[in-house]
Amino acid sequence: MKFAARQTFVGNTDYRLLPLRFRRLPWDQDRVLITSMSGDWLIAQRNDFERAVSGQLDSGESLFADMESRFLITADPGRSTLAPLLSQYRTRKDYLAEGPKLHIFVVSLRCHHTCAYCQVSRQAVGQTTFDMTESTARHAVDRLFDWPAKTLTIEFQGGEPLLRFDRVQQLTELIERRNRTEKRALRFVIASTLHDLTDEQLSFMREHGFELSTSLDGPEWLHNLNRPRPERDSYRRTLEGIERGRRVLGDGAVSALTTLTRRSLEVPKEIIDEYRKLGFHSISLRPLSPYGFARKTDARHGYTMGEFLKFYETALDHLLQINREGYFLEETYTRMLLSLLLTPFSHGYVDLRSPTGAGLGAVVYDYDGRVYPSDEARMLAAMGDHSFALGRVDESIETWMSSPGMQRVLDAGVAEALPTCADCAYVPLCGADPIDHYARQGDSIGHRPTSDFCRKQMGLFDALLRRWEQESSLDREILEGWALRATRREGVLEAA
Amino acid sequence: MSTIEVRLDAGVFSADIVTKAAHRYTDAYFVEIKSGTADFIVELTPKHVELDTSQVAKQLRNDALDEKLRAVVRSETQDIHAVLVEAALRQALPSKSGQGR
Amino acid sequence: MQPLEAKVHCEQWPASPLLKVAGLAEFAAGIFPPERMLLDLRDAQVRSAGSAICRLPWAGFLTDVPEHAPLDRPWIAVPPGAFKIGIGDVVELRPHTSKAALRYRRGSNNNILFTTERCNSYCLMCSQPPREVDDGWRVSHLCDLIELIDKNAPSLTVTGGEPTLLKENLRRIVLHCADVLPQTHLHVLSNGRAFGGGIPAHMFEGLHPFLTWGIPLYGDHYGLHDYVVQSAGAFSQTIRGLYALEAAKQQIEIRVVLVKPVVERLTELARFIYRNLPFVKHVALMGTEPIGFARAHYDDLWVDPTDMAPVLTKTVDFLSKRSMRVSLYNLPLCVLPEHLWSYSSKSISDWKQQYLPACEQCAIKERCGGFFAWATDKWTSRTIKPVRGALCAKH
């Protein structure tokens, strides 16, 4: 048997480019990040990349194999296959399959708090006209099961859903009864301050496997500052709620998020230390969004995305330090971004998807029977702008999907088709948020150079990529550990 | 608030490339593009006095070079991109007829 | 090293049968008909059962003393030597050449169903060099063999050559195993190329309760893989075959033989597997078997396992963090860093396995898979040495 040398199997090395995008590294202008259609990537010298683009790469170079292996180029079509690229792309966009999985039920707008950044447009505790009626609830449950998803996450929100807990109970029971024939996998989440939790409420929640998501903005002085109650004891009540929730439902069932105000940005370490002190292993550092009361109070509580990114770097340094000391504490958004960079998988967060998650990944059933593709669309409606309303719970889901509101979402909902996004190296990992752009810039397509959404996303991706390159191997392991855990988790949680 | 002027050779860069490159600066600058005899003149006027403008000319040139490269990539891959996305999604999405009620 | 075939004394055999060696337990269990069995007269229990048992319609008798066999009945006697036949084994007898071959050995760690000598690849290190022969006769032989294998056999490996060249007959064999040996795990070693076009992988969907496929992948791009398997287009077909098998809900293991060109891009291969084939259940990293084609390509293939340690560590670490099971096959423990020992298993088939003189003093010999019987000095690591001293209680 005569054996052929390696050279024989090289085939036709007149390679062609596959769809790719690139970005000069902000910390090293001589090198570029190159991403494939599906978000696989490598970093190369810019002049080598330029040679690659102009067809001058030699098949013997390791960069040739590296680019082939990531489907940035393809050589002999008779010997190569693009099946893996298609498979990666489908895997990355896996959230498209099956339709919306996250269903948010706003049972009441009433709340005890008067948070300046509230995006809900809360109502006073006594105003029961802002509660969901039984008729709305029943219709909403019918619509819920019109969707095909095999897994449904039902999230109760408000205002404060505990103020109308009977409706929460009723919805849960209606859903579970219907599910006996439907046989979907169900997840129940309640986004609540956890104030004044009763034993009966806890017992019900345990019986139905609820997860609790609450707001904890940081140490007591900060939390109470951000989240005023007339009694001025929000922090104490929140802690009590967390404690009791953990006791009855288990530690893993209770999670917390921050909302960051201008004051919060000054104390990243204190916020994180508070979470550690309370035994949390997960923290969400959420910047403000321009909705509801947050918009009105922007001057006092707002900050630029640049300021947020500075805060974030300090926070991440501190988190890594804590993890190095042996205490596991991850930041949830960071974990998701890292999973995008380091794994081929899609994720459960509806707010960073292309096509957008609004309406396609999540649906919001408001207390008054109106339906929206996202929380933000609901916020806009509460502020008087119904551009993104889908319809009412007593209409069919087909009506919603063909509504003008949904059309507006879809028209600007594919990041790969948006100006500037189309050429961005991060676009396979990023998302479109037409409603956010509409709210901030007045136009759902948006202007990327002045877009806070873009600034945040690029800032975070750049920050994480730089750390991935430059950080110590221990820190890289910590970050990698967060990313790899992510592939076994799902879902997005919001808090009151 | 002095305007920075950057000249880009029209023989090397097309109007489209210059526009795309300059567009990136519309957050921090007022941008105007003028046609000279043999080049494009990009005028950048800082919106805020505190802006550090020392690197912006170099960055704009780099961006123009990058846009040129992107144009090459685009011309080579535009068609196959649409074909691949369509092929990938066709295999992924189940038919939705008869779902639910 | 134990021979699987040898010359025997035999008489009165009308044909070339496949025979199950029976003791009293096999007789009592009544699973296999006596017509397909060889009663083992060497066994003390059998002899103590008396002469009546011999009157059953056994195919023949196994004996050390031909005179003990009943008159006018076929018998086999195994001459003294390395070749051994035991109760529960399945023997193929070829009377015209007086040869017996073991087709199944009870208790062996590697019983195979050998499907064909043909193959559509020509791997540089192939340990079973293909021959272009018409050996379709093997299919019915294998079906007969399957019927004589112990029901509690834990596993069988379907191998060759390339089993998918049997096409629909491979399905027939797998189905027969599902029917006759429903508890036995079946592992098919295939290059998967046929599923990339030609054979629908769906024909195996739901066919067998414990079926896995072991498919080699040698590189993250066609230039490397096609070179190692000496076949243009192989990479493309194998990759497409892998997706077809996944769509048919098959369990897949990727096998990687650690020859030099492969080791040079091993971490890239692991990355490629994770990004593109995350459904793979297991990755086997395997030391080269120095037999067959491998011997002719020493210079292109050999890399001392000791020198692989950093790359193996990185690769094992990468895959196991991503919840992909990894195993190290055919590598003795003394050439591996201790933190990799738990990934190693005693993978070399017992009949072709040996230990070296240095192993006598080794404290962990029992855990170690040792060496191939045909390993020569140049195919053996320079750092073979006994492991001494106390070991961590966990191991």
Cross-chain residue pair B62–A24, CB shorter than 8 Å? yes
pLDDT at A121: 61
Asked if residue C391 has pLDDT above 70, the reply is no
The amino acid at residue C300 is D
Q: A58, A81, A342, A345: which to substitute to probe chain C, counting the most C Cβ within 10 Å?
A: A81
Which residue of chain A has the CA closest to C317? A477
Cross-chain residue pair B96–A20, CB shorter than 8 Å? no
How close, in Å, is residue A305 to chain B by CA atoms?
13
Cross-chain residue pair A59–C297, CB shorter than 8 Å? no
pLDDT at C182: 97
Confidence of residue B98 (pLDDT cuts 50, 70, 90): very low
Q: C275, C301, C317, C321: which to substitute to probe chain A, counting the most A Cβ within 10 Å?
A: C275
Asked if residue A167 has pLDDT above 50, the reply is yes
Q: Closest to A53 (Cβ–Cβ): which among B73, B88, B92?
A: B73
pLDDT at B40: 96
Which residue of chain A has the CA closest to B65? A50
Distance CA B89, CA B86 (A): 5
pLDDT at A298: 63
Asked if residue A173 has pLDDT above 50, the reply is yes
Cross-chain residue pair A11–C232, CB shorter than 8 Å? yes
Look at C358 and A71; give whichever has higher pLDDT. Answer: A71
How close, in Å, is residue A479 to chain B by CA atoms?
30
Inter-axis angle of helices A199-207 and A165-182, nearest 10:
10
pLDDT at B99: 35
How close, in Å, is residue A394 to chain B by CA atoms?
14
Smallest CA-to-CA distance from A165 within A124, A123, A193 is with A193
Region C100-119 average pLDDT:
95
- Which chains border C (3 or more CB–CB pairs < 8 Å)? A
Region C240-267 average pLDDT:
97
Chain A residues touching B26 at Cβ < 8 A = 447, 449-450
Residues 6+ apart with CB under 8 A from C283: C253, C254, C255, C256, C270, C273, C319, C324, C325, C326, C327
The answer to whether the CB of C121 falls within 8 A of the CB of C231 is yes
pLDDT at A488: 46
Region A432-443 average pLDDT:
91
Region C270-281 average pLDDT:
97
For the ranges A1-10, A230-239, B24-33, which has the lowest average pLDDT?
Answer: A1-10
**How many Cβ atoms sit within 10 Å of the Cβ of residue C71?**
6
Cα distance from N-terminal residue to C-terminal residue, chain A:
73
Cross-chain residue pair A9–C226, CB shorter than 8 Å? yes
Buried-exposed string C76-104: b where 16+ CB fall within 10 A, e elsewhere: bbbeeeebebbbbbbbbbbbeeeebbbbb
pLDDT at B94: 44
Main-chain dihedrals φ then ψ at residue C285, nearest 5 degrees: -100, 120
pLDDT at A111: 84
Region C226-235 average pLDDT:
97
Distance CA A443, CA A445 (A): 6
Instruction: Name the one residue in this structure whose structure tokens are 């496929």.
Output: C213
Q: Which two tokens stand for residue C322?
A: 């991503």
Architecture of domain C111-392: Alpha-Beta Barrel (3.20)
Chain A residues touching C245 at Cβ < 8 A = none
Chain A residues touching B94 at Cβ < 8 A = 97
- ipTM surpasses 0.85: yes
How close, in Å, is residue A213 to chain B by CA atoms?
30
How close, in Å, is residue C320 to chain A by CA atoms?
11
How is chain C split into domains, by residue range? 5-104, 111-392
Same fold across C5-104 and C111-392: no
Mean pLDDT of chain C: 94
Asked if residue C49 has pLDDT above 50, the reply is yes
Q: In this structure, what DSSP letter does residue A428 have?
A: T
On the CB side of B22, CA atoms within 13 Å amount to: 23
pLDDT at A461: 98
Distance CA A318, CA A331 (A): 11
Q: Closest to C240 (Cβ–Cβ): which among A81, A344, A481?
A: A81
Q: Which two tokens stand for residue A366?
A: 């408001």
Residues 6+ apart with CB under 8 A from A344: A38, A39, A40, A88, A91, A92, C274, C275, C276, C278
pLDDT at B54: 85
Model pLDDT for residues A14-57, shown as the tens digit of each residue: 999 999 999 999 999 999 999 999 999 999 999 999 999 999 99
Region B12-28 average pLDDT:
94
pLDDT at C42: 93
Q: In this structure, what DSSP letter does residue B97 have?
A: T
Confidence of residue A151 (pLDDT cuts 50, 70, 90): very high
Cross-chain residue pair B100–A148, CB shorter than 8 Å? yes
Is the overall model pTM greater than 0.90, yes or no?
yes
How close, in Å, is residue A453 to chain B by CA atoms?
13
A96 and chain B: CB distance < 8 Å anywhere?
yes
Residues 6+ apart with CB under 8 A from C80: none
Main-chain dihedrals φ then ψ at residue A284, nearest 5 degrees: -115, 115
The separation between CA C126 and the C-alpha centre of its own chain, rounded to angstroms, equals 14
Query: Which A residues in the span 25-44 are in contact with C, Cβ-Cβ below 8 Å?
Result: 40
Q: Closest to C240 (Cβ–Cβ): which among A69, A79, A83?
A: A83
A466, containing H or E segment:
helix A452-470
Cα distance from N-terminal residue to C-terminal residue, chain B:
64
Model pLDDT for residues B39-78, shown as the tens digit of each residue: 999 999 999 887 788 899 999 999 999 999 999 999 999 9
Region A143-172 average pLDDT:
95
Cross-chain residue pair C221–A68, CB shorter than 8 Å? yes
Asked if residue A490 has pLDDT above 90, the reply is no
Q: Which two tokens stand for residue A315?
A: 């926070």
The CATH number of C5-104 is 3.50.30
Q: In this structure, what DSSP letter does residue B2 have?
A: P
Chain C residues touching A66 at Cβ < 8 A = 268
The separation between CA A466 and the C-alpha centre of its own chain, rounded to angstroms, equals 21
Confidence of residue A494 (pLDDT cuts 50, 70, 90): very low
- Which chains border A (3 or more CB–CB pairs < 8 Å)? B, C
Confidence of residue A383 (pLDDT cuts 50, 70, 90): confident
For the ranges A221-230, A242-251, C130-139, which has the lowest average pLDDT?
Answer: A221-230
Which residue of chain A has the CA closest to C275? A344
Q: Which two tokens stand for residue A60?
A: 């013997």
pLDDT at A382: 87
pLDDT at B100: 33
A422 and chain B: CB distance < 8 Å anywhere?
no
Model pLDDT for residues B75-90, shown as the tens digit of each residue: 999 999 989 988 887 7
Model pLDDT for residues A259-311, shown as the tens digit of each residue: 999 999 999 999 999 999 999 999 999 887 755 445 556 666 678 899 999 99
pLDDT at C390: 57
Distance CA C134, CA C331 (A): 35
How close, in Å, is residue B16 to chain A by CA atoms?
13
Model pLDDT for residues C115-172, shown as the tens digit of each residue: 999 999 999 999 989 999 999 999 999 999 999 999 999 999 999 999 999 999 999 9
Asked if residue A344 has pLDDT above 50, the reply is yes
pLDDT at A47: 97
SS3 string of chain C? Answer: CCCCEEECEEECCCCCCEEEEECHHHHHHCCCCHHHEEEECCCHHHHHCCCHHHHCCCCEEECCCHHHCCCCCCEEECCCCCCCCCCCCEEEEECCCCEEEEEECCCCCCCEEECCCCCCCCCCCCCCCCCCCCCCCHHHHHHHHHHHCCCCCCEEEEECCCHHHHCHHHHHHHHHHHHHCCCCEEEEECCCHHHHCCCCHHHHCCCCCCEEEEEECCCCCHHHHHHHHCCCCHHHHHHHHHHHHHHCCCEEEEEEECCHHHHHCHHHHHHHHHHHCCCCCEEEEECCCCCHHHHHHHHHHCCCHHHHHHHHHHHHHHHHHCCCEEEEECCCHHHCCHHHHHHECCCCCHHHEECCHHHHHCCCHHHCCCEECCCCHHHCCCCCCCCCCCCCCCC
Mean pLDDT of chain A: 91
Asked if residue A1 has pLDDT above 80, the reply is no
pLDDT at A487: 57
Tally C-beta pairs within 8 A across A and C: 88
How close, in Å, is residue A110 to chain B by CA atoms?
33
B101 and chain A: CB distance < 8 Å anywhere?
yes
pLDDT at B96: 39
